[in-house]
Amino acid sequence: MSATGIGTKDESAIREQIENWARAVENKDFDGILANHSTDILMFDVPPPIQSKGIEAYKKTWDLFFDWSPEKPVFEIQEMNVTAGNDVAFVTALMRCVGTRENENGLDFRLTVGLRKVDDGWIVTHEHHSIPAE
């Protein structure tokens, strides 16, 4: 149940949306990756550019990712938490990414996603990927 008591309907929809997004990354499906993202999304990322503003800049970060991962990447959710209110929500997740055979050890990272409810759907307005400091 969400912190606001909204219930599980929105939380389930958001969870499914994030799972579909991760699957789209694994399938290199740009339409799926960009689906449900705001045209003015703001993303903070691990590799440069560390800040991307707008859907076109966001898309370019995935071009860079797929250059790094020419094979089918592993992009899996290890743990996910969803908190949904009436018109805003956020997701926190622990993720695992393996991009190439040479990078079999993979990368564990954190994901935070901010969403806004528009009509009956949820739109990603902010996405933040980070790795723990060493």
81 is a domain residue: yes
**How many domains would you assign to the chain?**
1
2 is a domain residue: no
58 is a domain residue: yes
pTM for this prediction: 0.87
Q: What is the CATH number of the domain that holds 116?
A: 3.10.450.50
| pLDDT recorded at residue 107 | 82
**pLDDT by position in tens, the chain (length 134):** 334 444 578 999 999 999 999 999 999 999 999 999 999 999 999 888 899 999 999 999 998 888 877 678 888 999 999 999 999 999 999 999 886 555 566 788 999 999 999 998 999 999 999 998 87
Contacts with 70 (C-beta within 8 Å, 6 or more apart), sequence order: 100
1 is a domain residue: no
99 is a domain residue: yes
What is the extent of the structural domain holding 99? 8-130
16 is a domain residue: yes
3-state SS assignment for residue 18: helix
